[in-house]
């Protein structure tokens, strides 16, 4: 992990994955890691969501973490 974040002097790493689900919108996973001053990494944002079937509805968030706050539905 440290090689990835320090190779180009990046201070964060973002991962986005999408998994298809038959007859539904895909599941989407988002993870953002940020480096801390103590040579460790902190999850600054993590979500698992799926777009609702409503045309303009908000995505359903199965799990969400923003800093130290964890929200689950």
Strand partners, 32: 14, 45
Q: Which two tokens stand for residue 25?
A: 């919108």
- Model confidence band, residue 24 (pLDDT cutoffs 50, 70, 90): confident
Structure confidence by residue, pLDDT tens digits, 50-59: 887 766 677 7
Alpha-carbon gap, residue 37 to 65, rounded angstroms: 21
pTM of the model: 0.71
Helix (H, G, I), strand (E, B) or coil at 43: strand
Higher-confidence residue of 34 and 8: namely 34
Alpha-carbon gap, residue 31 to 48, rounded angstroms: 9
- Model confidence band, residue 5 (pLDDT cutoffs 50, 70, 90): low
């Amino acid at each position: 992990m440290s090689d990835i974040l320090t190779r180009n002097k990046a201070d964060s790493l973002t991962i986005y994955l999408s998994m298809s689900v038959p007859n539904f919108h895909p599941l989407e996973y988002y993870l953002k890691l940020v480096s801390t001053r103590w040579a460790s990494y902190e999850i600054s944002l993590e979500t698992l969501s799926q777009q609702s079937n409503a045309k303009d509805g908000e995505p359903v968030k199965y799990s969400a973490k923003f800093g130290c706050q964890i929200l689950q539905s």
